[in-house]
Amino acid sequence: MSGPRITVGVATCGRPQGLVHCLAGLLEQTEPAFEIVVVDQAPGAAARAASAQAGARYVEQERRGLSASRNRALAECTGDVLAVTDDDCVPDPGWIAGLAAALTRVPAPVAASGPILPPRGEQPRGTFAISLRESDAPVDHAGRVPPWHAGSGANFAAPAERLRALGGWDERLGTGSPGRAAEDADLLYRLLRDGGTVRYEPSAVVRHDWQPRERRLATRWSYAYGVGAMAGLWLARGEPEAARWLAGYARMHVRPLLGALRRRDRDALRQHARAIGGLVPGALYGLRAGRSGG
């Protein structure tokens, strides 16, 4: 293959059918992966068989959270670049080619991300799209941009050596950890803080499964908690930018919440109230963890 050798890391935990779909998408790439590494924190025969059928390296890991899975994929990576996605996502056929093109631009970015869209086809009744990034315009993110604007962990790639030099993902953050989320935003901030540029490449598309209403509500709270936790960890290090994240994230939800109150839109009110409600306890956790070194 031309360009960088891209290792794809897929974190999975108890969703073998989703993993099957994800791996099928990786096998349909116009530019194949150099290798695929599946890190499973709930090992089972179905996931093991799907990985073998896809020619992926299957690694079992004790349940420690998403960041630990990403770090294990980084440790196993033998390619030049580590690209990551999740077991409830299916990459479009041009995903790897799009990431490779983004990372070999001049001047080269330190990382690349891309759109997260819903699956093709009809939306099942009672389901919702979450974590979408729908812009079709290329963007180079740099400087003091809110880090969650620069990309998402479900669609991300960066040179493996750069990730290792930064220490990988913070295992105090992310799904399955005490910090619950925002491990991707934290890593993106460290890349940006280091003077790098993160490229949003519209051709590198990943499609995220439809989710039930309960999952959408749960992620509103957990992601806000994670943003608060990330900000708290950085505040404990004396980083003033973290206070701006808290204020900015709160503003993103306060105005829509007031609008929902005026419209008496109970669903929107619940969503934005849960987001605001997760921010403060997350920040308190981050401050405690940062000050204790835990």
Instruction: Show the tokens assigned to 206.
Output: 């990943």
pLDDT band, residue 238 (cuts 50/70/90): very high
Domain termination site, one of 143, 178, 209? 209
Q: Which residue has the higher pLDDT, 223 or 213?
A: 223
CATH number at residue 105: 3.90.550.10
Closest of 34, 53, 43, 33 to residue 11, by C-alpha? 43
The domain in which residue 161 lies consists of 6-209
Instruction: Show the tokens assigned to 52.
Output: 């073998």
Asked if residue 120 and residue 255 are part of one domain, the reply reads: no
Report whether the peptide linkage leading into residue 107 is cis, meaning its omega lies within 30 degrees of zero: yes
pLDDT band, residue 294 (cuts 50/70/90): confident
HEC secondary structure over 22-51: HHHHHHCCCCCCCEEEEEECCCCHHHHHHH
Instruction: Show the tokens assigned to 72.
Output: 């294990």
Residue 154 falls inside a structural domain: yes
Residues 291 and 283 sit within 8 Å (Cβ to Cβ): no
226-237 burial code (b ≥16 CB/10 A, e <16): bbbbbbbbbbbe
Per-residue pLDDT tens for 40-81?
999 999 999 999 999 999 999 999 999 999 999 999 999 999
Distance CA 22, CA 62 (A): 22
Per-residue pLDDT tens for 140-193?
999 989 999 999 999 999 999 999 999 999 999 999 999 999 999 999 999 999
Q: Where are the alpha helices (DSSP H) in 31-141?
A: 45-54, 66-76, 95-103
Residue 1 falls inside a structural domain: no
